Structure 1
Amino acid sequence: MAAQQSQGIQTLLEAEKEAAKVVQQARQYRVQRLKDARSEATKEIEAYKKTKEAEFKNFEASHAGVTQDAQAAVDKDTAGRLQTITDSYQKHKDVVVKKLLDRVVLVKPELHRNLKKVGQ
């Protein structure tokens, strides 16, 4: 009977070792599948990124002329407005300087409107 129990225990130990091997193989398989999935996802992401970059470059190339034309129009408008402002400055600077000097130099002493005369 002892031999039969010993043989049963031995069989259980061997079955446990075999089960541990199966579990270990399943873990390794799962880890490998995860690595494969990550590498596949990385490849798909890179391919998608290349496609979108190519689309963007095509879009940029097709609209580059429009941007340059708009920039040229803005530059021309800015130059025109700047010239107008410069002309106005040159035309009116003497008058403005004279008005400022008259205000500073020609002072009329007056009592402040909030000052009340003493005794009244």
Structure 2
Amino acid sequence: MAAQQSQGIQTLLEAEKEAAKIVQQARQYRVQKLKDARSEASKEIEAYKKAKEAEFKAFEASHAGTTSSAQASIDKETDIKLQSITASFNSNKDHVVKKLLDRVVLVKPELHRNLKKV
């Protein structure tokens, strides 16, 4: 009976060792699958990043001419407005100086409106 119990214990120990091997293999398999999934995801991310960067470069190249032409038109408008302001200044400066001198030189002495007669 002792031999039979010993043999039963031995069988259980072997079964436990085999179960531990199966669990260890399952863990290794899971770890390997996780590594594969991460590397695959990394490759997909890089491919997506390259595609988006190429798309951005194409967009930037197609709109680069638009920026320079817009800058040129804004510079042209600025020059036109500056010329208009300069012309307005030159045509009205004599009139403004005359008005200022008239106000300063021609003084009409009057009593202040807050001053009351006693």
Corresponding residue for residue 40 of structure 1: 40
Percent of residue pairs bearing the same amino acid type = 71
Show structure 1 runs of 5+ residues with no match.
none
Corresponding residue for residue 53 of structure 1: 53
> Using the alignment, how far apart are the partners of 1:86 and 1:97 within structure 2?
19
> Using the alignment, how far apart are the partners of 1:44 and 1:80 within structure 2?
53
Corresponding residue for residue 14 of structure 2: 14
Aligned residues: 112
CA RMSD of aligned residues (A): 2.9
| 1:59-102 deviation per Cα after TM superposition (whole angstroms, max 9, x unaligned) | 22122212211111112112222333344345545627954994
Under a length normalisation based on structure 1, what TM-score does the superposition of the two structures give?
Answer: 0.73
Alignment of 1:35-114 (within 5 A): 35-92=35-92, 95=96, 99=100, 102=103, 109-111=112-114
SS of the aligned residue for 1:43 comes to helix
For 1:40, the aligned partner's letter is: E
Change (3 A) 1:81 1:16: same
Under a length normalisation based on structure 2, what TM-score does the superposition of the two structures give?
Answer: 0.74
